[in-house]
Structure 1
């Protein structure tokens, strides 16, 4: 394969260990790189985990855990997936935890589990604690793998750990600052980093879509586009267990490689686990009249469907069989013969249909949002291995004149590898805003405006006299705007205070509007499509010494404070601060607290 100069030598001055952890809804993986100054990084995968030593080179483990009645972690990963642990868990009354990643989702992202519920959390454990326990387990496995695999591994680990390990955590495209904050707290809880500013700074985040893009570049899937970057766009579909993460890009330069996002990314709860959930509901109904309709039987048959039929299904015109028992298992009335459950091809296709339709709808929207520039779709992730998903996307996206490709190599660990590619190479230079972002301001009251009249009971007056209405929305960044990483959005505001003591706890809310492409006039505080993205707090008390008092209505003294809200949108992490000039030092300060 031709080298298109996509890899860059490490520019740091000290040897560093970077660990990328991809906690997936159903399966998880870890990759790492030992960065040497001026050398091109080499990415390694953790390919040996407890409980699956017999499977050579397996780079992923199930995202499941067992806790005892006191909330103590008893088993995790491949070990927790064994029949011995399942039997012990039933005997001891342990709680099985799976799909725990979905508990971190934003409240605005609704989850349709088709009548199923997420398993209850163990005693005295929050979603952050459970996520932290699994991070701790993966970190322990990584340390053991490095010390056992590399020459003088124990000494190598000790030398790399001393300056502070760096971590990259991946998350779905739909996760935001609040979810990143929870994941960082989980990293502290799991012992990956200390609970200090320095420790928290050692964790970086990347969306699964962007990580998958870097994985495609690393694996050579992007070679055709890189060899002829004619301004055509391409789309990366990371099809995982829980989410379908959809991101669209275009090549801007090849030496060095520069890529820009060309449409707002999307995130759908339509991964492979929902195919299984729909199958389970169907099996419950189909097998209810038989002796195979018990919860344990349904659980076993659904698991066998996951392991066989779901992975192999490719033709709705052919009968499908779920092998689950012995030749003695039979019930002709429900289609069971010789230990196999017979299903019509259309039945199985129906389990996939909502996920496929959602993917096609989202991709079609991305093609239109890009102005038709998207010409190819790269399919990665564990769900990408499904022949039915792949062929259906090829057929249904043909009218959009896009091709669908997937790498021949294992795609299930693409996110972990790509997260390291993101850390080392950082190919994406611009991203597209997914929503509207802004702040509340006071709008001057217009008595002739019916909209204003309807809100007049909320009128307030500033000390200087103007009558104003609260809850007005000032958009700082609109949805669909392309933002380079170096771009800083700054808006200047002023406020009037009658008591300077409030400067010590000055704060501004950054609002997010998810309701479409129109800019709203007002903030609807309790509406689902409005939420507080973060609260920026600063101590502006140094301004009290230089602020000049003015005389307002009724002779009351007041002070005018001028400040700026400065927001960085072009990074994978949202950052904001309040900035001001006290005519002495030009000082500034900021603290971000996500909801």
Structure 2
């Protein structure tokens, strides 16, 4: 354990009973430092009982996804732990929905912006609450962007362009100066893409690796690139909202509440980097600013589906969200707690993998490269022609073939290469390269197979709890793929085929759900912890149980064992939103010492956590900094150590909670008074 030099003796940590374990101490809440507008809390009353029928939605195609060449990527073979299914008990007939009339609350003026920061495409939506009945509010997608003329785009590419000096010279909405007349990058220009995935890859994780992703520009970190992109996106949002809302925007721009989406399976470090990027981009002033909230993508989708779909759900029903995006597929099941107001809780721990649309393109790229490699080309012009042919193949696959291919109606496709020649070995006739239905299926195979595995695992987790799974909702840009949807339908258990649905405008479900989260009070009331969280501690040494090399002598003359751990959040534990877990800590310092402490936080994703933090499976997460220097030292208890020196024996508490997309937050309390935030520095 790392401790300041002035700390004189051992430290211990014990978990206090919390609301999560069924017992609690008086709740402590932080003083409000924000304006009344920011502190405003409201509840909704929504009538979902009169929403009838199944989802009936147009199946819109995903926006075009063009990404340049990258090495083929092998999908991970690891699978989330799934508990074995049990027989589901027969249920009573479902009651018919009952219409309930209730006056809904009215909001004060508030501008809410949702940002779906995607791997390949990003979208923005907003709503202006101007005293209307909240039942009448509906998010507005930003589809017209400054510099795009009359072109309408609900999503824009998540790309940046840098020059050789590291300056941003173009992005999604302005890249003309980066290209030559043939649409190729000019010399010395670097294109940055898929950089969102680097935010997670830069931290310890189990499902994506930096080597699998396109390289970042020279001398740029993932945080640098993400910050640069979000800065330009922020400026574009400001310009568009100013054009649409004029004086209202000028009045409200410093009070905007932002809801930024992140994948559910990202760890705390990846989410923290995302928050840092948003702060650098100027959305809010600092990382603790409550105007910025992170929301997981499937949670945003769940809010959207619950609010705007025509899906009739009763209390105790479970619905599964399958969010298929450009980089990841995220899944989580929710159980309906109440229908008025509509609230849900997590029924399963979120799972997922890096098996989004980009993996399909990478697999097709390898197929095309194998064919192009069989074309006999001279050395003088061969490389240029190979690059040209590959670019033609990738563009046509991404813009046309990927959207039109169907699992139940396979067919062959031809791609124009732009040169008249024949090469039977490469399936080229009259300058057209042929791709068979089997080759197209091969490009999709690993991704769709992995997605079905994830869906089945979630079904097993629901059934193991003897819950009723009433709907499986496929959302996200890649979720609009008919091939993916039909493949899932063909391979899930037959009894769930009729429960597989795709909401209206499933592509916009994430960003509109993010805005909807800001409109209504908490829809998700509790979550399940994805992993164990623990502090490194010392405890009394027990011969025969503790390793001798871990024995240490405290200043009070008592032997203790170092590198032990104290779990304060268990894996699978129910975490009630807004209710922190309290950890009791004890420190002893010299009377002239400064009461500033730091401890190491760890996590473990195994079901059974090892005993010592040095063991395999326990991963360093962050350093927790706790500052009690604002407390009058006369309030500390003075004791005498074994060497006769006087010390302060300090007992205090740290309240920790997983909020804002599962991000870890903490604050210190001493004698039931909040004495400041405990800062968390992620490793």
Counterpart residue number, 1:520: 610
Separation in 2, partners of 1:328, 1:96: 31
Counterpart residue number, 2:300: 211
| Structure 1 position 101 matched with structure 2 position 209 | no
* 1:463 aligned residue (527, 552, 555): 555
Q: Which moved more, 1:97-106 or 1:128-137?
A: 128-137
Counterpart residue number, 1:309: 401
Give yes or no for contact 2:610–2:617 (8 Å, CA) kept in 1.
Answer: no
SS, match of residue 440 in structure 1: strand
Counterpart residue number, 1:415: 510
Q: Which moved more, 1:188-197 or 1:25-34?
A: 188-197
Give yes or no for contact 1:461–1:468 (8 Å, CA) kept in 2.
Answer: yes
Give yes or no for contact 2:580–2:657 (8 Å, CA) kept in 1.
Answer: yes
| Structure 1 position 30 matched with structure 2 position 124 | yes
| Structure 1 position 395 matched with structure 2 position 503 | no
| Structure 1 position 181 matched with structure 2 position 269 | no
| Structure 1 segments unaligned to the other structure (5+ residues) | none
1:566 deviation in Å? 1.5
1:472 deviation in Å? 1.1
1:246 deviation in Å? 0.8
* 2:337 aligned residue (240, 252, 265): 252
1:445 deviation in Å? 1.7
* 1:271 aligned residue (339, 343, 356): 356
Q: Encode CA deviations 1:76-119: one digit per residue, 9 max, x unaligned.
A: 11543899567576335211111111111152334567975423
SS, match of residue 223 in structure 2: helix
Counterpart residue number, 1:447: 543
* 2:670 aligned residue (580, 583, 587): 580
Give me the TM-score of the superposition, normalised by structure 1: 0.87
Q: Which moved more, 1:305-314 or 1:102-111?
A: 102-111
* 1:73 aligned residue (168, 174, 189): 168
Give the direction of change, closer, same or farther, for the CA distance of 1:298–1:7 in structure 2 (3 Å limit): farther
Structure in which a larger fraction of residues adopt helix? 1
Q: Which moved more, 1:396-405 or 1:67-76?
A: 396-405
Q: How does 1:123-162 map to 2 (within 5 A)?
A: 125-148=220-243, 150=244, 153-161=245-253
* 1:544 aligned residue (619, 633, 657): 633
Separation in 2, partners of 1:168, 1:408: 21
| Structure 1 position 591 matched with structure 2 position 672 | no
Give yes or no for contact 1:393–1:404 (8 Å, CA) kept in 2.
Answer: no
Counterpart residue number, 1:480: 572
Give yes or no for contact 1:6–1:256 (8 Å, CA) kept in 2.
Answer: no
Give yes or no for contact 1:5–1:254 (8 Å, CA) kept in 2.
Answer: no
Give yes or no for contact 1:430–1:570 (8 Å, CA) kept in 2.
Answer: no
Counterpart residue number, 1:386: 481
| Structure 2 segments unaligned to the other structure (5+ residues) | 1-47, 52-98
* 2:115 aligned residue (12, 21, 26): 21
Counterpart residue number, 1:48: 144
Separation in 1, partners of 2:228, 2:424: 46
Give yes or no for contact 2:321–2:475 (8 Å, CA) kept in 1.
Answer: yes
Give the direction of change, closer, same or farther, for the CA distance of 1:195–1:232 in structure 2 (3 Å limit): closer
Q: Encode CA deviations 1:263-284: one digit per residue, 9 max, x unaligned.
A: 1112310100011111112221
Separation in 2, partners of 1:81, 1:405: 42
Give the direction of change, closer, same or farther, for the CA distance of 1:367–1:31 in structure 2 (3 Å limit): same
SS, match of residue 595 in structure 2: helix
Separation in 1, partners of 2:548, 2:106: 59
Give yes or no for contact 1:500–1:541 (8 Å, CA) kept in 2.
Answer: no
Give me the TM-score of the superposition, normalised by structure 2: 0.77
Separation in 2, partners of 1:112, 1:586: 42
Give yes or no for contact 1:463–1:558 (8 Å, CA) kept in 2.
Answer: no
1:218 deviation in Å? 3.6
Separation in 1, partners of 2:570, 2:196: 30
Q: Which moved more, 1:39-48 or 1:342-351?
A: 342-351
Give yes or no for contact 1:439–1:510 (8 Å, CA) kept in 2.
Answer: yes
SS, match of residue 160 in structure 2: strand
Separation in 2, partners of 1:377, 1:196: 35
1:216 deviation in Å? 1.4
Separation in 2, partners of 1:496, 1:83: 60
Give yes or no for contact 1:316–1:344 (8 Å, CA) kept in 2.
Answer: no
Q: Encode CA deviations 1:440-478: one digit per residue, 9 max, x unaligned.
A: 2212222133xx2xx212211222332111111111111
SS, match of residue 65 in structure 1: strand
| Structure 1 position 299 matched with structure 2 position 391 | yes
| Structure 1 position 563 matched with structure 2 position 657 | no
Give the direction of change, closer, same or farther, for the CA distance of 1:72–1:38 in structure 2 (3 Å limit): same
SS, match of residue 251 in structure 1: strand
Separation in 1, partners of 2:668, 2:635: 18
SS, match of residue 186 in structure 1: helix
1:11 deviation in Å? 5.7
SS, match of residue 347 in structure 2: strand
| Structure 1 position 362 matched with structure 2 position 454 | yes
Separation in 2, partners of 1:444, 1:560: 17
Q: Encode CA deviations 1:319-355: one digit per residue, 9 max, x unaligned.
A: 4214233583542221123443322322222222222
